[in-house]
Amino acid sequence: MTMPSRLTRTLSAILFALLFAAHSAPAQRKDQDIKFRLAQSYERSGDYTAAVAIYKELYLHDSTNVVLVESLKRDLLQLKRYDEAIILFQSILRRTPGDINLLGQLGSIYAQNADQKKATETWERAVSMEPKTETTYRFVGSWAVQSRMFEYAIALYKRGRTACGDPQLFTSDIGYLYGIMLNYADATKEYLSLLTKSPGQLNFVQSRIATYTGKAEGLAAATASVQQAAKAEPANMEYQKLLAWLYMEAKDFAKAYDVYKWIDEKTAAGGKELFAFAERTLREKGYAVASKAYASLISSYPNAEFLPQTKFGYARTLEEIDLAKDTIMLFGLAAAGGSRPETEGNPAYAGAIAAYQKVVVEFPSLEVAPRSLLRIAEIQYERYGDLDASKASLENLIARYAAVPQIIVDARLLLAEVSVARGDVDRAAVQYDAVAGKAPYIGEQRERAAYRLAELDYFAGRFKECLTKLADLTRNPTSDAANDALGLQIFIQENTASGDAAIKEFAQAALLQRQRKLSEAAGRFESILKTYAGTPLIDETLIQIGAAYTQMRRYKEAASMFERLAAEYPESIVLDQSLIQLGQIYALGLKDVPRAIAAYQQLLEKFPNSIYVSEARKHIRELRGDTL
């Protein structure tokens, strides 16, 4: 009886233990889950110390849980407890010594702990696992890059080339790292190597090189490297294209022209390469070289499909070249009323107008024809101040090209401007209304027309109606007209608070100025200075008198107005605008460089956040002869 009893008791104990374990295991897992969630909440709240304490406790019971290990490592690194993180990974590696991923992470922890020797030793151990495989070098290299050990990563990638027997391997990675290390020459050489292997990667290579061509030293180094490569392999068309692109980045349009012309000839592109160059150069304001390119295309490819656009582009360059010589337009101001002195004999813009007229005659059914007519009307209005001629050109355009609505809208807007200048405000309102339509106004042209309609009310002293129209425009803060509308709205509200007599006079003078009746406008503004000396619009009045005198080329009187504003109204919100105009008058009108620089410098000192700061700095560099 003794033995069976003992056996029975033993079996019962085992059964009880198994039943207890079966019931306690879920409870234990539940408890661990609760603790893990608690640790996560500590981590989310930024209490990494408390989180680590719980994670470590859980790790003792479940050292194979990948999520738990990652959480513990992450928080140890947050606390910069690198030694503990290293011990953690070493313990895991003892179970899986061949895990390249773990070795990579361990190496990065050594790097963060400022132990580069141990980091490289660990990564070399990882490489030794599969030393002939590209993925090994790519994987380990990525850990080195993340650890900002760029020199080691470059050396590793270069070893990988040899080990894998591919000298073109990792070119993009190495080029990127050289760029980070400011070694622009070697970075460019790597990208050239990539281009040799994969000619179709030109756009990618340009995008990578563009990350450092914004710096003078980067652009110079890249250009020198590509020049050398292009000289060594003149038949390599990708090198030539890259070189031409670099010249364009440097705004060296003359050199770019020579290369693109050569590329066009060698690839039998029929002028397409040169045409694309001319179009880009026009956009980037390299007018003289663009004009040369267009002229070459016109003479060499008289039957090309792009000939209409080429002739239009050529006319645009002639216009812009004349504009660069036009003193009044350099101030950003329109011509005074009546014909300009330049219209006699050999007028400015005559070549451009003739070229536009030729486009209209040769290609009357294409879009370039109405665009040319619009440009002619613009020149007649803005450059010559010839309102009758501009009106006739616009009416001709609208009558002939109703089927080109986008251009017709621009023509109507310009015709409205001309009508205002001619004193025909009612006709201007009709044109603006035809473009604006009903609120809400969506699109630049509709917004511009709606703003001009509000301005007509302002000129007429109908301030309530004007403010109603402006309110519709200011509801959309992202619209192009919103800033102008808001500015006029505030100006009216500020200057009608204590009566509207002064602002009515100001609005009438502003209309005279818009109509190019500059002497009358200046007289009305000067009357405001005397009659309404205590009103808040005096500083704005001084600016308008200065602008009128500038348009009349009375530069000394214009300068005196802006200087008076600076002296008498040092807190004016338009003082920065006054200073930028004063600098332009001294630089362009009076040719007094020291005073121009002084005006720009005063703007920079008093208004460091002004919208004119970049312009002022640019002008100072130009006047000093600095390299831009």
The least confident of 20-34, 254-268, 424-438 is 20-34
- Domain range list for the chain: 437-497, 505-628
What mean pLDDT do residues 8-30 have? 52
Output 436-439 pairs: Cβ under 8 A, ≥24 positions apart: 439/472
Q: What residues contact 592, with CB distance under 8 A and at least 6 apart? A: 586
| 60 — pLDDT class (breaks 50, 70, 90) | confident
What mean pLDDT do residues 266-277 have? 96
Q: Which among 309, 310, 247 is positioned nearest to 284, based on CA atoms? A: 247
| 32 — pLDDT class (breaks 50, 70, 90) | confident
Between 64 and 146, the more confident residue is: 146
The least confident of 46-55, 143-152, 207-216, 255-264 is 46-55
Amino acid identity for residue 595 in this structure? R
Residue range 157-184, pLDDT digits in tens? 999 999 999 998 999 999 999 999 999 9
Phi and psi dihedrals of 285, rounded to 5?
Answer: 70, 25
| 2 — pLDDT class (breaks 50, 70, 90) | very low
Q: CA-to-CA distance for 306 and 27, rounded, in angstroms?
A: 80
Identify the CATH homologous superfamily for domain 505-628: Tetratricopeptide repeat domain (1.25.40.10)
Asked if residue 77 has pLDDT above 90, the reply is: no
Q: CA-to-CA distance for 585 and 566, rounded, in angstroms?
A: 15
Helix (H) and strand (E) counts for the chain?
A: 33, 0
Give the pLDDT score at 330. Answer: 55
Between 66 and 367, the more confident residue is: 367
| 27 — pLDDT class (breaks 50, 70, 90) | low
Do the beta carbons of residue 382 and residue 395 sit within 8 Å?
no
Give the pLDDT score at 367. Answer: 96
Give the pLDDT score at 602. Answer: 95
Q: CA-to-CA distance for 219 and 208, rounded, in angstroms?
A: 12
| 380 — pLDDT class (breaks 50, 70, 90) | very high
Give the pLDDT score at 20. Answer: 45
Give the pLDDT score at 342. Answer: 43
Asked if residue 11 has pLDDT above 60, the reply is: no
The least confident of 328-337, 355-364, 461-470 is 328-337
Do the beta carbons of residue 254 and residue 244 sit within 8 Å?
no
| Sign of torsion over alpha carbons 76, 79, 82, 83 | negative
Phi and psi dihedrals of 213, rounded to 5?
Answer: -75, -10
Asked if residue 12 has pLDDT above 60, the reply is: no
Which DSSP category does 343 fall into? Answer: G
Which DSSP category does 586 fall into? Answer: I
Residue range 97-152, pLDDT digits in tens? 888 888 888 888 898 889 999 999 999 999 999 999 999 999 999 999 999 999 99
Q: CA-to-CA distance for 177 and 144, rounded, in angstroms?
A: 11
Q: Using CB atoms within 10 Å of the CB of residue 434, give its burial: 0 to 12 exposed, 13 to 18 middle, 19+ buried.
A: middle
Q: What angle do CA 515, 356, 416 make, to 5 degrees?
A: 25
Between 369 and 5, the more confident residue is: 369
What mean pLDDT do residues 474-494 have? 88
What mean pLDDT do residues 350-354 have? 95
Asked if residue 537 has pLDDT above 70, the reply is: yes
Q: CA-to-CA distance for 525 and 564, rounded, in angstroms?
A: 15
